[in-house]
Structure 1
């Protein structure tokens, strides 16, 4: 199988989450699949998982700048929203990433660095034209 062959990935989320993702995808004029792919990639870039799988907790080894940034985001969300359970904390962090992504995509489009291409089904560098 070639690296660019497409394969299905299946996950299960609560109905309200799927509906929220669909509404956000519609607002961005994206398919739900493209929206989920974009959010996963954005999340992977923002919250890089350490490659040392032998860590057993946050105090194991030296924290990276990404770990510190992620911890700061968690603290900021809790400070802003108060007590949150796991699902609410995840949702708040995802909402923050989505807002950051939206703002950054807008800035890059304003600078003419990227553009949304319906033909290509996503964002492309303007240097590819």
Structure 2
């Protein structure tokens, strides 16, 4: 390997205390350092490891006619390979662990872009006025 590939650089980020604690707990459960955990999760996210909706999962499973090979199936197999036995709840946790973090981050981004507003008075989130004006069609 070249020095460029092995040289390490520091990356700093700030997250809410509850999120850091959640990451720390998850890293410990996996026997990883916090740095290794964050690095692994970022790389997993870059490979687009998301739970596909039912339509896409069914399409992927039927692509080759084998009924297997879709991304979600691979995630299930990976989760099962991490332990001899996993309960339903453990599998569910392994496959959905980051959903709360992803929702929180997405809502923060949408609020920063003035597309979503939080109302304490109404106890929830709502589309901001004009949220879709000038949007690129998403």
Question: So what's the TM-score if we normalise by structure 1?
Answer: 0.40
Greater RCO (CA < 8 Å, at least 6 residues apart): 1
- Structure number with larger C-alpha Rg: 2
TM-score (norm 2): 0.38
